[in-house]
Amino acid sequence: AGASAIAGQKPVIFPEDDEIAVSNVALFPNPATDFVQISNTNDETVQLVVFYDSQGRICKQTHPLEQIVVTSDLLPGVYTVETRLTSRSIFQSLVIR
């Protein structure tokens, strides 16, 4: 990744092409209640989806057959969702109401 800096300011990082692809996985709706849909425009397959609570404990994990994961069994709160792809994991925040 390249960087540019101005005195007194934090550097701006420009991602490499493979880092941009990470943002091609989206969870919606956010906030969610009964389900969350995974939008994956990468060439990699979603292998596993793991929901962690604010203490880092695993609350739910599933191998989604579809791009929808039921979340009605989770308590309201903020979760970190790990989407495991074929060669990497992507972590995102998700609010459950």
3-state secondary structure 30-53: CCECCEEEEEECCCCCCCEEEEEC
Residue 50: Cβ-neighbour burial (10 angstroms; 0-12, 13-18, 19+)? middle
Give the Cβ contact number of residue 71 at 10 Å: 21
Query: Which domains are present in the chain?
Result: 25-96 (2.60.40.3080)
| pLDDT of 8 above 80 | no
Rounded to whole angstroms, how far apart are CA atoms 49 and 79? 12
| pLDDT of 7 above 80 | no
Q: What is the tens place of the pLDDT at every residue in 58-93?
A: 999 999 888 999 999 999 999 999 999 999 999 999
| pLDDT of 21 above 50 | no
**What's the pLDDT at 84?**
95
